[in-house]
A and B are shown apart, each in its own frame.
Chain A
Amino acid sequence: MGAFEIIFFLFAVITLASACVVVFSKNIVYSAFSLVFTFFGVAGLYVLLNADFLAVTQLLVYVGGILILLIFGVMLTNKVVNVDVRSSGSTKVPAFIISGIILIGLVGAIFQTHWISYKDVPWSRSPWNKDAVTQALTEYVKVQGSEGTATTIGKLFLTDYLLPFEIVSIVLLIALIGAAMIARREPDPADEALDSF
């Protein structure tokens, strides 16, 4: 077992264990703080997968942004006495059954599928040239190894992905304006009367 495997299992265990705490903890505050470790573990997996830019983005956006929003939501809506009044056995059993079936299906599909790498492709029967693919792959690995993925992603944002980039910027702007509009307090009629003077 090399270093890659050890680090992979470390991050996988961190991710899945803290995700279990998120899902199964009774206390919503514990869930929120445990989500930090889940996001950290996922960022570690991104690093293992040669996605350095995405790992940093994950930390900035998820841990720095989304998680703070969620913790704000917990703090603003949590009552001091937060007990489930109703019996909670009604939805857990069907949810467990549905999730279990889907997990078995997914794991079965992952193990059933014969994942091929580019080396296993029957090149004589394929329309592509093996040498060209090999050269592209070595250049890709070289680029990823030398300058990281940020350069490539930046170039792609301004070339192939220009339109999605602009659209997603506008989506984000509209979503944030909409969130501010929805969440703001209703203006007090007395204040409005004062403002009109």
Chain B
Amino acid sequence: MTVGLEHFLIVSAVLFVLGLYAMLSRRNAIAVLMGIELILNAANINFIAFTRYGAVNMNGQMSAVFVIVIAAAEAAVALAIVLNIYKNFHSVSVPDVDKLRD
């Protein structure tokens, strides 16, 4: 058997679903962030697989570079917010954080 586009897409789909499940089911806010990272990686695999098997240009890989940059910015800001939440609520469990006021 030869590995083609479908195999990479299947890996990426499974990775996406695992990330989605982590986002929906985990209580720890940092675990939710890990789920988001998995989803972004799944999107990147798709971009690069389509660059390899589909188009004749590099647009997919360029998009993947921007996805990586946005992921870095997102992780930095999200971690800062999580640290602030921990300072205010003494917990990073998502269901505990349900108050807007002090």
Do A and B share a complex? yes
Contact across chains for B52 and A49 when beta carbons are under 8 A apart = yes
Contact across chains for A1 and B58 when beta carbons are under 8 A apart = no
What chain B residues lie within 8 Å of A54 (beta carbons)?
44, 48, 61, 64-65, 68
Interface size band for B: 35 or more
Contact across chains for B81 and A182 when beta carbons are under 8 A apart = yes
What chain B residues lie within 8 Å of A172 (beta carbons)?
69, 72-73
A4 CA / B21 CA spacing, docked (Å): 30
Contact across chains for A179 and B44 when beta carbons are under 8 A apart = no
A183 CA / B78 CA spacing, docked (Å): 10
What chain A residues lie within 8 Å of B53 (beta carbons)?
115, 117
Contact across chains for B25 and A92 when beta carbons are under 8 A apart = yes
Asked, given contacts A49-B52, A77-B30, A168-B70, whether A91 binds B25 with beta carbons under 8 Å apart, the answer is yes
What chain A residues lie within 8 Å of B48 (beta carbons)?
45-46, 49, 51, 54
User: A38's contact among B5, B41, B62, by CB below 8 Å, is which?
Assistant: B41
User: B77's contact among A12, A157, A175, by CB below 8 Å, is which?
Assistant: A175
User: A39's contact among B7, B41, B66, B92, by CB below 8 Å, is which?
Assistant: B41
Contact across chains for B35 and A61 when beta carbons are under 8 A apart = no
Asked, given contacts A16-B11, A58-B68, whether A179 binds B37 with beta carbons under 8 Å apart, the answer is no
User: A156's contact among B10, B13, B62, by CB below 8 Å, is which?
Assistant: B62
What chain A residues lie within 8 Å of B4 (beta carbons)?
115
A70 CA / B57 CA spacing, docked (Å): 34
Identify the closest chain B residue to A181 (Cβ): B80
| Complex interface residues of chain A between 76 and 122 (CB less than 8 A to chain B) | 76-77, 84, 86, 88, 91-92, 94-96, 98-100, 102-103, 106-107, 110-111, 115, 117-118
Asked, given contacts A5-B1, A66-B37, whether A156 binds B58 with beta carbons under 8 Å apart, the answer is yes
What chain B residues lie within 8 Å of A19 (beta carbons)?
14-15, 18-19, 38
A137 CA / B75 CA spacing, docked (Å): 37
What chain A residues lie within 8 Å of B95 (beta carbons)?
86
What chain A residues lie within 8 Å of B7 (beta carbons)?
8, 12
Contact across chains for B62 and A161 when beta carbons are under 8 A apart = yes
Shortest distance in angstroms between B82's beta carbon and chain A's nearest beta carbon?
6
User: A96's contact among B5, B25, B76, by CB below 8 Å, is which?
Assistant: B25
What chain B residues lie within 8 Å of A175 (beta carbons)?
73-74, 76-77
What chain B residues lie within 8 Å of A53 (beta carbons)?
61
Beyond A23-B22, A54-B61, A66-B72: 17 further Cβ-contacts under 8 Å?
A: A5-B1, A8-B3, A8-B7, A9-B3, A15-B15, A22-B22, A23-B18, A42-B41, A45-B48, A61-B72, A69-B79, A70-B33, A70-B34, A95-B24, A99-B20, A149-B61, A156-B58
A-B contact pairs, 6 of them (CB 8 A): A5-B1, A5-B3, A22-B22, A23-B19, A45-B8, A66-B37
